[in-house]
Amino acid sequence: MSMISGGTMPRLIDSPTVIEAAGNLPKRIEEYAGRVNSGHDGVSVARMVSPAGWLEPGQRPEFEEITVVLRGMLRVEHESGTTDVRPGQAVVTSPGEWVRYSSPEPGGAEYVAVCTPAFSPDTVHRDA
């Protein structure tokens, strides 16, 4: 007797949806999984590319965010200070924690952000 389930198979996400980003300079957000691109509401996975000098408004999101830096340096300001995250490192921010992301160094940064539940403009709570 085979253990094959009823016709399910891995679902290819052929390409991301590019989403407009907040901040002082253009940042590219490519959502692979999430509310917009794949209909996921429990998690979102996006690749970000931010230029040197990019700074976004502070935020106090309702979701946990796990950010893995691939290239450059991502600066995370928080209520206890500042954390610089380098390639091969990750940072985890908790729901309700105030944070502000930036990429101050030459060359900017490239990173992957995983939010759970999925990122939503209604739950990110950016500073006015």
> Domain residue spans in the chain?
29-116
Mean pLDDT calculated for residue range 104-122: 96
Whether the pLDDT of residue 1 is over 80: the answer is no
Cβ neighbours of residue 100 closer than 8 Å, sequence gap 6 or more: 55, 56, 57, 58, 59, 76, 77, 78, 127
Could you give the CA distance from residue 112 to residue 14 in angstroms, rounded to a whole number? Answer: 17
Homologous superfamily of 29-116 in CATH? Jelly Rolls (2.60.120.10)
pTM, rounded to two decimals: 0.89
Are 67 and 74 a contacting pair, CB within 8 Å?
yes
Q: What percent of the chain has pLDDT over 70?
A: 95
For residue 8, the model assigns a pLDDT of: 87
**What residue type is assigned to position 78 of the chain?**
H
Are 109 and 84 a contacting pair, CB within 8 Å?
no
Mean pLDDT calculated for residue range 34-61: 96
pLDDT tens digit sequence for 5-45: 567 899 999 999 999 888 999 999 999 999 999 999 999 99
For residue 4, the model assigns a pLDDT of: 55
Characterize 43-60 residue by residue with b for buried, 16 or more Cβ atoms within 10 angstroms of its Cβ, and e for exposed.
bbbbebbbbeebbbebbb
Could you give the CA distance from residue 31 to residue 13 in angstroms, rounded to a whole number? Answer: 10
